[in-house]
Amino acid sequence: MSALLETRGVWQRFGGLIANSDVSISVGRGEIVGLIGPNGAGKSTLFNLIAGVLPPTQGSIWFDGENVTHMPAAERCQRGVGRTFQVVKSFETMTVIDNVIVGALVRNTVMREARRKAHEVLEFTGLAARADVLASDLVPAEKRRLEVARALATEPKLLLLDEVLTGLTPTEAQTGVALVRKVRDAGITVLMVEHVMEIVMPLVDRAIVLDLGKVLVEGKPADVVRDPKVISAYLGDRHAQRA
């Protein structure tokens, strides 16, 4: 079976800055893959290229056997790519349920069905009690969950999570981890960007470490955290030698 998502030799330049250089990664069906790396490693850029916010300068992106390199974000969503935003982008003047209905409308053209689907997703994500609250009245952790709920309502094959666990209290983060597992168990492939290693490592099946725009190391989380190259990228060379 071919990979669900694949990037082939992807480059992204912003003027003189090279954010991604020759990045080739693949995500298999049913996996939870962590995309990690220090600040400025190019994680968010790669993430945006996959989500279709902008096309790469060079290289191609394949989703579900199809070249989607130049496909706009909305169309990728229709093909089955769901995403959240690092800086939450709720529809603030709309209620929680209405936020999720927007997502549900991708696969349900009849309002009644979209609404039912949205309620289902709110149950799944534990937001059901907040359905009729305005998105602007949610606390930050709930807003993060709303991002996930909205994306899930589009019934994605691949869910892209952009630092959904960052900045949460330990309890909130644990709830988040449980939710991600639940999402995978529902048959959805997950690619998550995080930079807090201790939260992601126990959760992911495979980790891809980016540094300075390149893939540094890729492998099982337990191996990745011990890799000297990863330690030096995060902590500097001195620590790498000691390890």
Partner 1 sequence: MDKNFAARRRRDLVIAAVLAGLAALAPLFIKDVYVQNILILTLMYAALSQSWNILSGYCGQISLGHALYFGIGAYTTELLFTKFGVLPWFGMLGGGVIAAVIAMGLGYPFFRLRGHYFVIATIVIAEIGLLLFQNWEWAGAAMGITIPIRGDSWLKFQFLRTKLPYFYFALALCCLAWFVTWWLEDSKWGFWWRAVKDNPEAAESLGVVVFNSKMGAAAVSAFLVAIGGAFYAQFLAYIDPESVMGFQFSLLMALPAVLGGIGTLWGPVLGAAILIPMTELTRSYIGGSGRGVDLIVYGALIVAISLALPRGLVSLFSRAKPKGATR
**Which of 16, 65, 109, 238 is the binder for partner 1 (CB under 8 A)?**
109
Query: Is residue 133 a contact residue for partner 1 (CB under 8 A)?
Result: yes
What is the longest distance spanned by two Cα atoms in the chain? Answer: 61
**Which of 131, 196, 201, 212 is the binder for partner 1 (CB under 8 A)?**
131
Question: Which of residues 114 and 217 has its CB atom nearest to partner 1 in the complex?
Answer: 114
Total residues contacting partner 1 by CB under 8 A comes to 39
188 touches 124 (CB < 8 A): no
User: How far apart (Å, rounded) are the C-alpha atoms in residues 146 and 176?
Assistant: 12
Residues 149-168 that bind partner 1 (CB under 8 A): 150-151, 153-154
**Which of 46, 77, 191, 209 is the binder for partner 1 (CB under 8 A)?**
77
Question: Which of residues 103 and 221 has its CB atom nearest to partner 1 in the complex?
Answer: 103
Query: Is residue 185 a contact residue for partner 1 (CB under 8 A)?
Result: no
User: How far apart (Å, rounded) are the C-alpha atoms in residues 236 and 243?
Assistant: 11
Question: Which of residues 75 and 237 has its CB atom nearest to partner 1 in the complex?
Answer: 75
**Which of 33, 46, 50, 97 is the binder for partner 1 (CB under 8 A)?**
97
154 touches 104 (CB < 8 A): yes
Query: Is residue 106 a contact residue for partner 1 (CB under 8 A)?
Result: yes
Give the interface segment with partner 1, choosing from 10-18, 30-38, 95-103, 189-197 (CB under 8 A): 95-103
Distances 85 to 114, 162, 164, 214, 224 between C-alpha atoms, Å = 22, 6, 8, 22, 26
54 touches 48 (CB < 8 A): yes
Distances 185 to 153, 181, 194, 203 between C-alpha atoms, Å = 16, 6, 20, 13
Strand pairing class (189-193; 5-14)? unpaired
Torsion of CA 124, 127, 132, 138, to 10 degrees: -150
Give the interface segment with partner 1, choosing from 56-64, 100-108, 174-182, 187-195 (CB under 8 A): 100-108
Query: Is residue 90 a contact residue for partner 1 (CB under 8 A)?
Result: yes
Tokens describing residue 236: 């500097």
Query: Is residue 182 a contact residue for partner 1 (CB under 8 A)?
Result: no
**Which of 3, 18, 134, 177 is the binder for partner 1 (CB under 8 A)?**
134
User: How far apart (Å, rounded) are the C-alpha atoms in residues 230 and 212?
Assistant: 12
Cα Rg of the chain, angstroms: 18
Give the interface segment with partner 1, choosing from 31-39, 60-68, 98-106, 231-239 (CB under 8 A): 98-106
Question: Which of residues 53 and 240 has its CB atom nearest to partner 1 in the complex?
Answer: 53
- Which residues in this chain contact partner 1 in the complex, by CB under 8 A? 51, 53, 72-74, 77-78, 82-83, 85, 89-95, 97-98, 101-103, 105-106, 109, 111, 114-115, 119, 131-134, 136-137, 150-151, 153-154
